[in-house]
Chains A and B, each alone.
Chain A
Amino acid sequence: MVVPVAFFALFFAWPVVSIVERGLRVDGVWQFGRFGETLSRPEILDVLWFTLWQALASTGLTLLIALPGAYVFARFDFPGKGLLRAVVTVPFVMPTVMVGTAFLALVGRGGLLDELWGVRLDTTVWAILIAHVFFNYAVVVRTVGGLWAQLDPRQEEAARVLGASRWKAWRTVTLPALAPSVAAAALMVFLFTASSFAVVQILGGSTYSTLETEIYRQTVVRFDLTTAAVLTMVQFVAVGVVLAVHARIVRRRETALRMVAPEETARRPRGVGQWALFVAVLLSVALLIVLPLGVLVERSFATSHGYGLDYYRALRTPDPSGTFLVPLLDTIGNSLRYAVVATLIALVIGGLAAAALTRRAGRLVRGFDALLMLPLGVSAVTVGFGFLITLDEPPFDLRASWILVPLAQALVGVPFVVRTMLPVLRAVDERLREAAAVLGASPWRAWREVDLPLVRRALLIAAGFAFAVSLGEFGATVFIARPDSPTLPVAVARLLGRPGELNYGQAMALSTILMVVCAVSLLLLERLRTERTSGEF
């Protein structure tokens, strides 16, 4: 408990509080009057309203489209399942600039929809909502699907044998068991979409702005730290409310679950209904995720003289201007190294926090639970600027240190670790631990024999998330990555920032490589999971 608390105090709370204080206290005088003034400005109210409703709409849409997907991934067995699960997670790591480009190619002027049906969505809010589904599909599939796959279907079958209808059995047995993880997934999607920055910047054009883009604008463009601080406080309160609501839902629904190995629950689809669902899910994945990614892949091969590997070949040679001091292929190694360190930090911190939260109850601990989620909802620019004015004294003048990259990445990874592990840890029947203790097992042995096998899967899912987040992280990385060791997304952004065919083509090629690296890493994690079955009881 001490380590995660210290971690958050030092790398999150302190920087954020400092930067807010800087904005709200001018010449030693607190500017609380600015709250009313700022919050009564009509353009700020517009921003708040848009932030709220687009996040709710995005969350609803994502659940609507992704929950059937979670079911299919959890309960059906089909060839290529692992690969497909990795593919749906790829959007998560894609640099948003690239995704914006891909979406415009689909729904923008001259895009696929435009050519087929004359439909253009690039200046509408639909483009934002669909892109949010694209980015967050994996959150639902992985958090809900992960638990769903381990629920024992025999419980539901038992209910039906006892005379319950299919719907009633599902509602009374499966739904209560799933509810906490659905709520957790919905919450994460809500936090992501409410603090969505690049998607709104790119696809929303100049028409739409969210709280996050407004904080960025006030901080970076206008340098109005007071307004930014007021908005940050609003963001805090809003996130706090969401987290409080979530905590209530989860507490009410928490039950010990019977869990089995996912391999035992999955089977081939049977009957018209199941096949229809299966095909519908595959189709939605193809349209929403594979197609936009495919556009990027296609462009990475499209040279001015037909399809070819020219851009990939160019990645191995130094840039003609010498801008990138190393061949661009080296960026893959940089990205992987950062991501591994960030994942380890996130697993250590998140794992300790989750363990502490399972063992202890009480208001304070629950408050800490909520606190761990805050980084997901708080503006990156606030945290980044906060880092600058706090971590500036030796020996912790970390502002120029490489460690800041994985630290910042881990900050976003920890909530995933906690959220994916908590439902599973809490669902472990306490009697199993007690039984182990009665049979003479030490606490450590009990944990190893009871908790670990059950948690392994959640741990790997969590690691996958933390890894993916770190691999694709851009905001914090670009801020500190050294010029001689840029990460892959940073290199992509720099390439896109310059004219010329080679730059554009190399950006597409690097993005394609990023997709493949991410998919392969996730597949390896999946492999680890099945090496040893976890169905030991």
Chain B
Amino acid sequence: MSTTPVSIKKAAAAALVAALGVTTLAACGTDDAREAAGKSGAPAPKTVTLVSHDSFNASKEVLAEFTKQTGFTVKVLKSGDAGEAVNKEILTKGSPQGDVFFGVDNTLLSRALDNGIFVPYAAKGLDRIPEAYQLDKEQHRVTPIDSGDICVNYDKKYFADKKLAPPVTFDDLAKPAYRNLLVVENPERSSPGLGFLLGTAAKYGDEGWQDYWKKLKANGVKTVDSWELAYNQEFSGSAGGKQAKGDRPLVVSYASSPPVEVLYGEPQPKVAPTGVSTGTCFRQTEFAGLLNGAKNPEGGKALIDFLISKKFQEDMPLQMFVNPVAKDAALPELFTQHGVVVDTPETMAPEKIAEKRDPWIQQWSSLVLK
């Protein structure tokens, strides 16, 4: 198929689009038509396209600020969940969908870097980001933007009613007092599930984690496929879980979930209904990079600079419920009041994750699911 002359493809496509054009253009807004016309006519694009995963959000004001500073308008293209979005960039390498990709995390970083989808660019303001986050500091193919911790959350009411102290560490989760209380996500299908598995592997070592999971299994851990199901269906501490009569007071979620429960409480509660077991955390860092083959590399560079600017970094927490990486970015009150500080999260080198991810998931499946 790749040998088909482009002109034939285009002729066929043109005929078709002409045939469809009447119906479609009549039915939809003319803005798009104008935009398309403008795109092919203007030599220097004024838009810069940011490709990201579905969870990307930024407030309107902040994006407008970028336009004010640089003259470029940001167009955001959401490209599926994190894994899917990265894979799409690898597939379209050299002819990318946009200029900047945001949202590759440490669990997928090696796959992205090994496939060469990014070109090096040292962002302005990098010195404000702690070195611990800079996982590609020799080449600057990616720039750290945010970080977040995957941790076990607990239902405060359950543990208060039972007069039981909530678990704090990985070890606690395997204790008889917490039998049949934990629900986790399948690491193959869910990124918090993967983060939790990697956390246990970082904690107990390449060999030891299997024994730990045997203990968890003996202690009645339940596995579901997605965060949505675990959190909204099985977990007794969330709004959805309460309606669904969820009966698991422990769930693998994020350190930022309790503040979000407050933000979206109806009415907003004074204290978060859920808490975080701070000794069960795995740190995820998300990166952005300039795409190889970007049509607007200048705009892309400006955008990456902007992503680590104080303005954007301070907007992120309430948009994506992650923590800023820039030292000068202050956390919103919601986070300082209801969030927790995770001092010693587990971490793992991206190269090691790339190497071990598949075999570990396979071992995990035969250990826990079978």
Contact = CB atoms under 8 A, between A and B. Distances in A.
Interface in B14-66: 14-17, 19-20, 23-24, 27-29, 32, 36, 40, 49, 54-57, 59-60
Interface stretch (B86-94, B167-175, B197-205): B86-94
A6 B260 CA distance: 49
Interface range for B: 35 or more
Nearest to A337: B28
A479 B79 contact: yes
A76 to B, nearest CB: 37
A321 B318 contact: yes
Contacts of B337: none
A348 B20 contact: yes
Scoring A6, A222, A480, A500 by chain B CB atoms within 10 A of each residue's CB, the highest score goes to A500
A320 B98 CA distance: 29
Given A498-B260, A501-B266, A206 B16 contact: no
Given A223-B111, A320-B263, A499-B260, A400 B247 contact: no
B331 interface: no
A220 B84 contact: yes
Interface string A505-520: 1000000000000000
A7 interface: yes
Given A337-B27, A395-B40, A202 B229 contact: yes
B27 to A, nearest CB: 5
B232 A101 contact: yes
Contact of B244 (A110, A325, A393, A399): A110
Contacts of B229: 100, 104, 202
A501 B239 contact: yes
B188 A221 contact: yes
Contacts of A110: 244-245, 247
A131 to B, nearest CB: 14
B243 interface: yes
A294 B332 CA distance: 39
Chain A interface size range: 35 or more
B347 to A, nearest CB: 22
Describe A's contact surface by its main secondary structure. Answer: helix
B12 A497 contact: no
B130 interface: no
Contact of A494 (B54, B76, B321): B54
A323 B81 CA distance: 17
A6 B240 contact: no
B295 to A, nearest CB: 10
B233 A385 contact: no
Interface stretch (A57-65, A136-144, A250-258, A338-346): A338-346
Given A205-B224, A500-B263, A388 B243 contact: no
Q: Which of the listed residues B16, B111, B229, B318 has the most CB atoms from chain A within 10 Å of its own CB?
A: B16
28 contacts: A7-B16, A14-B9, A17-B1, A21-B2, A101-B244, A110-B244, A201-B225, A202-B225, A217-B189, A222-B358, A223-B87, A321-B319, A322-B318, A341-B27, A403-B32, A478-B78, A479-B78, A482-B77, A483-B56, A483-B78, A497-B54, A497-B227, A499-B257, A500-B260, A501-B264, A503-B239, A503-B264, A504-B239
Interface of B: 1-2, 6, 9-10, 12-17, 19-20, 23-24, 27-29, 32, 36, 40, 49, 54-57, 59-60, 75-81, 83-84, 87-88, 90-92, 95, 97-98, 111, 186, 188-189, 223-229, 231-233, 238-240, 243-245, 247, 253, 257, 260-261, 263-266, 318-319, 321, 358, 365, 369
Sorted from nearest, which 6 A-B pairs have the closest CB atoms?
Answer: A500-B264, A501-B239, A110-B245, A502-B264, A504-B240, A322-B59
